[in-house]
């Protein structure tokens, strides 16, 4: 299922897997959030570790990661 922005409804784990494919790594973890980073170019973003991420959150993560919606969807393998 996709929301109006062309992004599928995803879990935090799916988002983390997609970001890892985009060159990110897990920097640290707090109880319900995963802080991910990339060194070149330096970028850091926070992914909630929830079973379903709220509708606007993936768009913020994609913007912080410097990706397009199309690139992110490609990394999701859906």
Instruction: Please state which CATH class domain 12-76 belongs to.
Output: alpha beta
Please report the pLDDT score of residue 4 as a whole number: 47
Report whether 71 contacts 22 (CB < 8 A).
yes
Q: What is the pLDDT of residues 30-57, one digit of tens each?
A: 999 999 999 999 999 999 999 999 888 9
Q: How far is 51 from 70, CA to CA, in rounded Å?
A: 22
Q: How far is 19 from 46, CA to CA, in rounded Å?
A: 11
Instruction: Assess whether pLDDT exceeds 90 at residue 78.
Output: no
Instruction: Assess whether pLDDT exceeds 60 at residue 3.
Output: no
Q: Where are the domains of the chain?
A: 12-76
Measured in whole angstroms, the distance separating CA 72 from the mean position of its chain's CA atoms is 8
Mean pLDDT across 57-66: 94
Q: Percent of the chain, pLDDT > 70?
A: 92
Query: What DSSP string describes 28-72?
Result: EEETTEEEEEETTTTEEEEEE--SS--TTHHHHHHHHHT--HHHH
């Amino acid at each position: 299922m996709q929301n109006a922005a062309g992004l599928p409804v995803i879990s935090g784990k799916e988002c983390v897997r997609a970001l890892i494919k985009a060159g990110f790594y897990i920097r640290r973890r707090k109880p319900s959030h995963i802080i991910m980073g990339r060194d070149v170019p330096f970028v850091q973003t926070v992914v909630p570790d929830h079973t379903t991420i709220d509708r606007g959150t993936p768009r913020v993560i994609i913007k912080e990661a410097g990706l397009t919606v199309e690139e992110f969807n490609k990394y999701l393998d859906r």
